[in-house]
Every structure is written in C-alpha cells, then in structure tokens.
Amino acid sequence: MNVLVTGGAGYIGSHTVKMLKETGKNVIAYDNLTKGHREAVKCDVFVKGDIFDDELLINTIKKYNIDSVVHFAAYSLVGESMEKPCLYYHNNVQGTLNLLDVMLRCNVKKLVFSSTAAVYGEPEAVPITEDFMKNPTNVYGRTKLIMENVMKDYSNAYGLKYTALRYFNACGADEEGNIGEDHSPETHLIPIVLQACLGIREGIKIFGDDYPTEDGTCIRDYIHVNDLARAHILALEGMHEGHASNAYNLGVGNGFSVKEIVKAAEKVTGITINKETVQRRSGDPAILIASSDKIRGSLGWEPKYVDIKAIISTAWNWHKNHPNGFGE
Ligand code: UDP
C-alpha cells in the first residue's frame, strides 16, 4: 500500500504517519508546514507542499505510485472558523475539492477523510450514532459536512471509495515521547491545562459553567490520538479488502466535563492550577459523546486507552519533556 498523507506533519496526521510506517505501509507525508512541524514526521518521505498545488500533487502521486490518500490537511478550530469563515471554506472545502479532483485525474480512488463530531451540532441525545441529524453549530463542522456530502456524490458518480472518520476530542501523545500536540496558538483544553501545570500559563479559563450538565461545564468524549490513528489504518485496509464507502464515529463512549478534565490533570501532575470561569465560547454544544459501535462492528476497532488519567499521562509526558513543543 502506497499512502499519501496530507497534513502528515500535524497532530493527528503525524501520529497516523508513524503508525502507518510501523504497520509496513509506504508512507508519503505531504504538508505545507503552515501549522504542521517537520520534526513531527517520522517516515522516510516528506514532501513540503500545498493541497492547492496540482502539479506537485500529481507528480507526488505518480512518483510514489500512490494508491490511497489519508487527508488531514485542514483548519480545525471552532472559534476561528466562526471569525474567519472564508479561510475555512477556502481551505477545507475548496482545498479538498482540489485534492479530490487531482485524485480522480490520477485514478486514485481510496480516501480516508478527517471528519468531526461537529457535523452533528447540538445532538438530540447521547451517545451519538452516525444516523443522527447533522446540524452543525459552527463553520468548521459545516465545512466537514459539506465535504462528506461531496464525497458521497463522488462515490456514486465516479467510484470514489471513502471512509469519513468523525473524531470526537483528540488528545494524548505517542508513548515513545517524540511526537505530541503542538498548536500555535493552543486552544484545546488538555494542552492548555498541562501548560498551566508547567507554569507556561497563569491558569485556565473555563468557558461557561451554566450548561445543562451536572457541574455546568461542557462534556466531551476524549479519545487518544493513537486510537484515532489506528482507525485510519483499519479504514484503509478495509477499503482495500472491498469495504464500501462509509462514515464512522470515533470516541471512547465516556464523557468528561471540563471541570473533571481539570481535576484529572491535577491528579496526574500533582499540581493545582488557577481556574477562572468566563463566558461560553460561541459554537460549543453542551454534550458530545460518541457511540462507536459501528466502527467496532465493521472494522474491529476498539480504543486501547479508556482511562482518562492514562490518556492525560501520555500528554503530560510529552508536554513535560517538550515545554516549547517542537520548538525545542
Ligand atoms: N475549554 C475551556 N477552556 C479552554 C479550552 C477549552 O473551557 O481554555 C472547553 C471548551 O469550551 C469545550 C472543551 O473545553 O467545552 C473542549 O474544548 P477543545 O477546544 O479542547 O475541543 P473542541 O470540543 O472544541 O473540539
């Protein structure tokens, strides 16, 4: 299997690249490095390039005889997507359309696509199954839903085979300790809490404690990045074995509130941090918890990390040893 990984230098992309290589696939990481880190790429071939660069994409696909693509390259911040929708529609929709166009021109018809729990919006119940109504509350979720619909149409019309993986909250780091989460600026809860533990931040802000949950803070389903990575490999192998196009949720099936995450991180690190409750963040649904029964049944996926403290420990190991991320 010769796999092109767009966004291969990003957080989930780099963990997937590493695991693809470990499972014996030929991996070509492709990234424009606007968000990703060259040091995060742990495979032999890296191409610095953009998903809008048709010529480079075509040359790369031909040179390495690519038969499948895993597409991570996208913007993924809910708050930013509300402030800069143009950026998100351009990169996530137009960019993916461009990639699909190139793939079809090169007769590459297998794609694993990074989707998100944000396609559901405020769910009518939890756990969320794949057939729930899709009603995104933010631009980021809308860009991913648009592309899921496009892929469905391309699958019917052009024989594209795709697997959309709807991630819940990715977190944690590879246990070998040389790759992990490093966003600039960082907006995600667990790295922010751990940076506060390290003294890099004065404390954390809790975005709203008036949600209809037990402690009033938002509940999310936190899934370890390597459990996500493994799902991409299973999805690729499934498509090569003849599985049809499909969309799957990826979460552990347990929900933790913001306050519970902070408490768990304080236990893992032994450090108490300053917390301040502020206004809600726009576009945040109250509770998102996945049912991952479908991918468990179809692809035999299951999470190796189910204990939140164990997940946070892997992130802590990364942040402690790389307080400046890949910058050190
Ligand atoms: N959150 C928070 N303070 C922060 C960052 C996040 O209270 O500094 C909350 C956020 O409102 C959400 C949860 O933590 O309810 C997870 O947010 P994150 O940005 O990590 O992931 P998202 O759910 O947006 O994918």
Q: What does the pLDDT look like over 84-125, one tens digit per residue?
A: 999 999 999 999 999 999 999 999 999 999 999 999 999 999
Mean pLDDT calculated for residue range 263-275: 98
Rounded distance between C-alpha atoms, residue 67 and residue 54, angstroms: 17
Give me the pLDDT at residue 219, please. 97
Give me the pLDDT at residue 141, please. 96
Residue 327 has pLDDT above 70, yes or no: yes
Give me the pLDDT at residue 79, please. 87
Nearest to 76 by CA among 142, 164, 173: 142
Q: What does the pLDDT look like over 277-310, one tens digit per residue?
A: 999 998 788 999 999 999 999 999 999 999 999 9
Structure tokens at 1: 């299997």
Q: What does the pLDDT look like over 36-79, one tens digit per residue?
A: 999 999 999 999 999 999 999 999 999 999 999 999 999 999 88
Rounded distance between C-alpha atoms, residue 190 and residue 171, angstroms: 7
Give me the pLDDT at residue 114, please. 98
236 lines ligand 1 (CB under 6 A): no
Give the number of the atom of ligand 1 that is nearest the alpha carbon of residue 116. Answer: 25
What secondary structure does DSSP assign to 79-123, as a single string? HHHHH-HHHHIIIIIIHHHHHHHHHHHTT--EEEEEEEGGGSBS-
Distant-in-sequence, close-in-space partners of 33: CB < 8 Å, separation ≥ 6: 9, 48
Give me the pLDDT at residue 314, please. 98
Give the number of the atom of ligand 1 that is nearest the alpha carbon of residue 281. Answer: 11
Q: Whose CA is nearest to atom 14 of ligand 1?
A: 189
Query: Ligand 1: which of 75, 222, 281, 288 to mutate, most ligand atoms within 8 Å of CB?
Result: 281
312 lines ligand 1 (CB under 6 A): no
289 lines ligand 1 (CB under 6 A): no
Rounded distance between C-alpha atoms, residue 30 and residue 60, angstroms: 9
Question: Ligand 1: distance of its center to the CA of 189 in Å?
Answer: 5
Residue 30 has pLDDT above 90, yes or no: yes
Ranges assigned E (strand) in the chain: 2-6, 26-31, 45-48, 68-71, 110-116, 161-167, 169-171, 203-207, 219-220, 222-224, 246-250, 256-257, 274-278
Residue 304 to residues 116, 204, 275, Cα–Cα distance (Å): 20, 29, 31
Give me the pLDDT at residue 282, please. 82
Active site residue 140: yes
Please identify which residue in the block is written with the tokens 């492709």.
30
Query: Ligand 1: which of 188, 223, 259 to mutate, most ligand atoms within 8 Å of CB?
Result: 188
Mean pLDDT calculated for residue range 113-140: 96
Burial of 201 (0-12, 13-18, 19+ CB in 10 A): middle
What secondary structure does DSSP assign to 180-219, as a single string? ----SS---HHHHHHHHHTTSSSEEEEE-S-SSSSSSS-E
| Active-site option among 140, 162, 211, 222 | 140
Give me the pLDDT at residue 52, please. 98
Rounded distance between C-alpha atoms, residue 125 and residue 60, angstroms: 44
Question: Ligand 1: distance of its center to the CA of 178 in Å?
Answer: 25
Rounded distance between C-alpha atoms, residue 165 and residue 230, angstroms: 11
Residue 328 has pLDDT above 90, yes or no: no
Q: What is the pTM of this model?
A: 0.98
Please identify which residue in the block is written with the tokens 């991918």.
295
